């Protein structure tokens, strides 16, 4: 997928979601804006790095990516009573990366990365004339990784193992594009305010490079849980 085209598409969706006119107030709510806390919890056993590269660990290092909770925002444009288009945005998440090996044992944290997970989804709302409105969604997630770094201990270990200098900034994670599956429910407090509970499963896979050389792939594939408060207009 052309990343520049994808980013332009997201930008167009943001502008569309924010375009509200005064006459909307007299009609059924066409927009929902939600804000809340989201936990991104990667699956267990996220992959193995450096297979065959490290003399002491020829089978590689098992990687475990830790969870994080951060403030997120989403906006929904309701095309009709049942069909909506949602854009998810967030403040940056930060995940610790832990590793272990048969010889070295548990190394603990070897590095960390920050990321942004904008996700554009099509949603189907099951309107049932009650305060509870459940929905399902299918979307595209674009995960942007940045501020990747190794701990000083991990950089020293890799320098010793590889026979070359490895600095703390010599790690990079490729950006990821994948599907997002969603189920959630809105509960109307009144005609305008709502609370929301949302569950997603995202497909996030990234190639990991050390000093520019690919050393493996990390499969994050997290469960994403959000608790939000929202406003309809």
How does pLDDT run along the chain (233 residues), one tens digit per residue?
A: 444 444 444 444 444 444 433 334 335 679 999 999 999 999 999 999 999 999 999 999 999 999 999 999 999 999 999 999 999 999 999 999 999 999 889 999 999 999 999 999 999 999 878 899 999 999 999 999 999 999 999 999 999 999 999 999 999 999 999 999 999 999 999 999 999 999 999 999 999 999 999 999 999 999 999 999 999 99
Can you give the pTM of this predicted structure?
Answer: 0.85
Q: Are 102 and 59 in contact (CB under 8 A)?
A: yes
- Domain presence at residue 11: no
- pLDDT value of residue 127: 82
d(CA 52, CA 215): 10
Distance of CA 80 to the CA centre of its chain: 28
- Domain presence at residue 46: yes
Q: What is the dihedral of CA 181, 220, 199, 114, to 10 degrees?
A: -120
- Domain presence at residue 2: no
Q: Take residue 192 and report the two structure tokens written for it.
A: 């305008």
- Domain presence at residue 13: no
**CATH (domain of 114):** 2.40.160.20
| 3 state SS of 178 | strand
d(CA 223, CA 203): 10
Strand partners, 119: 88, 141
Number of domains in the chain: 1
- pLDDT value of residue 27: 54
- pLDDT value of residue 174: 98
Q: Are 167 and 220 in contact (CB under 8 A)?
A: no
Diameter over CA atoms, the chain = 70
Q: Domain containing 69: what range?
A: 31-232
Q: Could you give the angle at the alpha carbon of 113 between the alpha carbons of 109 and 114, nearest 5°?
A: 140
Edge-to-edge strand ranges of the sheet holding 213-219: 171-173, 205-210, 213-219
- pLDDT value of residue 104: 86
- Domain presence at residue 184: yes
- Domain presence at residue 10: no
- Domain presence at residue 150: yes
- Domain presence at residue 7: no
């Amino acid at each position: 997928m052309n990343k520049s085209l994808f980013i332009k598409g997201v930008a167009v969706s943001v502008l569309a979601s924010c375009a509200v006119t005064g006459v909307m107030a007299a009609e059924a709510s066409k927009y929902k804006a939600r804000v809340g806390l989201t936990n991104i919890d990667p699956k267990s056993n996220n992959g193995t790095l450096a297979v065959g590269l490290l003399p002491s660990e020829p089978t590689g290092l098992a990687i475990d990516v830790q969870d994080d909770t951060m403030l997120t925002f989403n906006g929904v444009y309701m095309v009709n009573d049942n069909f909506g288009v949602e854009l998810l945005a967030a403040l940056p998440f930060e995940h610790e990366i832990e590793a272990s090996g048969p010889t070295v044992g548990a190394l603990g944290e070897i590095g960390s990365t920050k990321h942004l997970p904008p996700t554009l989804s099509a949603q189907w709302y099951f309107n049932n004339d009650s305060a509870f409105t459940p929905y399902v969604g299918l979307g595209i997630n674009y995960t942007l990784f940045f501020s990747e770094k190794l701990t000083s201990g991990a950089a020293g270990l890799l320098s010793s193992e590889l026979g070359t200098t490895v600095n703390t900034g010599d790690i990079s994670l490729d950006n990821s594009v994948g599907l997002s599956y969603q189920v959630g429910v809105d509960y109307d407090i009144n005609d305008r305010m709502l609370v929301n509970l949302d569950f997603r499963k995202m497909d996030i896979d990234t190639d990991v490079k050390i000093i520019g050389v690919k050393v493996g792939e990390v499969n994050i594939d997290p469960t994403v849980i959000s608790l939000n408060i929202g406003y309809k207009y």
